[in-house]
Amino acid sequence: MSTNAGSAQAWQERYAASLMNTFGAPKLVLARGEGSRVWDVEGNEYLDFLGGIAVNSLGHAHPALVEAVTAQLSTLGHTSNFFATAPQIELAEKLLALLGAQGSGKVFFSNSGTEANEAAFKLTRRTGRTHVVAMEQAFHGRTMGALALTAKEAYRTPFAPLPGEVTFVPFGDVDALRAAVTDKTAAVVLEPVQGEAGVNPAPAGFLEAAREITTASGALLWIDEIQTGVGRTGAWFAHASSGVVPDIVTLAKGLGGGIPIGATLALGAAADLLQPGNHGTTFGGNPVASAAALAVLATIETDGLLDHARTVGTQLRKGLLADDRVVETRGDGLLIGLDLCEDKSAEVVAAGFAAGFILNNPTPNRIRLAPPLVLTSDEAAALIDAWPGILDAAGVVAP
Binding residues for pyridoxal 5'-phosphate: 113-114, 139, 224-227, 282
DSSP result, 71-115: HHHHH-----TTS--HHHHHHHHHHHHHHT-TTTEEEEEESSHHH
Report helix, strand or coil for 272: helix
Task: Could you list the residues known to form a binding site, using ranges.
Answer: 113-114, 139, 142, 224-227, 281-282
The pairing of strands 336-340 and 366-369 is: antiparallel
344 is catalytic: no
CB neighbours of 113 closer than 8 A, spacing ≥ 6?
140, 141, 226, 227, 250, 251, 252, 253, 262
353 is catalytic: no
Question: Taking the CA of residue 133 as centre, how many other CA atoms within 13 Å lie in the half-sphere pointing to its CB?
Answer: 25
**Comparing C-alpha atoms, which of 48, 56, 51 is closest to residue 356?**
48
Task: Could you list the residues known to form a binding site for N(2)-acetyl-L-ornithine, using ranges.
Answer: 142, 281
DSSP result, 303-349: TTHHHHHHHHHHHHHHHHHTSTTEEEEE-STT-EEEEESSS-HHHHH
Residues 282/81, Cβ–Cβ less than 8 Å: yes
184 is catalytic: no
Q: Which of 40, 48, 224, 247 is catalytic?
A: 224
Q: Which of 139, 171, 206, 357 is catalytic?
A: 139
CA distances from 57 to 180, 266, 393 (A): 36, 24, 30
Query: Cα(1)–Cα(191) distance, rounded to whole angstroms?
Result: 41
Residues 139/195, Cβ–Cβ less than 8 Å: yes
**Comparing C-alpha atoms, which of 219, 149, 150, 226 is closest to residue 193?**
226
Q: Which of 40, 49, 94, 253 is catalytic?
A: 253
Q: Cβ-count burial of 74 within 10 angstroms (0-12 exposed, 13-18 middle, 19+ buried)?
A: exposed
Query: Cα(110)–Cα(349) distance, rounded to whole angstroms?
Result: 32
Residues 171/180, Cβ–Cβ less than 8 Å: no
**Comparing C-alpha atoms, which of 189, 257, 267, 204 is closest to residue 229?**
257
What are the residue numbers of the active site? 139, 224, 253
